[in-house]
Amino acid sequence: MCILRQDSISLSSYHASEIVRHELTSLQLGVAAEVREAANSYRKVADSELKRTVMQNRKTFGILRSLAKNKDIIITRPDKGRGVVVMDRSDYMQKMNAILDDRSYFSLIDDDPTLVNENRLIHLLLDLKREGFISDSEYSLARPTGSRPARIYGLPKLHKQ
């Protein structure tokens, strides 16, 4: 039987394609066959486990996709900790409207001041730059771009039982 030498000590002294001949006993051949059989058995178990996991993930993602398409529910995360919260959309909207109706925290405005304030700040910074109070690099660092109005979202509070 011919075996390529693979021990790290001798690799430097042998050319990679050089074949080293060993005379193996029947006991050694039997042990080698058992090791090969154990490795193949392990590989088969790992392959079947991997296939099972892939199928389970496909099923899970299919369920999640169908839930995401359902417009009657809201899927979000809890306000603290980790997890997933699935709520009826009408309940979620009712709770959010109750929060927004609290005038001590929120007030209704006709126009969003975000872009108006951004433009005012840009003009102020331009004036400061023209008058030499700030440099071009300071202007670039301070100049706001892409401002967007705030968006409200509600994360449900989970209660331990």
Residue 12's pLDDT band, with cuts at 50, 70 and 90, is low
For residue 23, tell me if it sits in a domain. Answer: yes
Please state the φ and ψ torsions of residue 23, each to the nearest 5 degrees. Answer: -95, 110
* C-beta neighbour count of 29 within 10 angstroms: 11
Which pLDDT belongs to residue 16?
A: 58
Which pLDDT belongs to residue 142?
A: 94
For residue 32, tell me if it sits in a domain. Answer: yes
Which pLDDT belongs to residue 160?
A: 67
3-class state of residue 95 by DSSP: helix
For residue 37, tell me if it sits in a domain. Answer: yes
Torsion of CA 128, 129, 131, 133, to 10 degrees: 70
Per the structure, how many domains does the chain have?
1
For residue 54, tell me if it sits in a domain. Answer: yes
Which pLDDT belongs to residue 149?
A: 82
For residue 80, tell me if it sits in a domain. Answer: no
Q: Which domain range does residue 13 map to?
A: 1-67
Residue predicted with more confidence, 105 or 13: 105
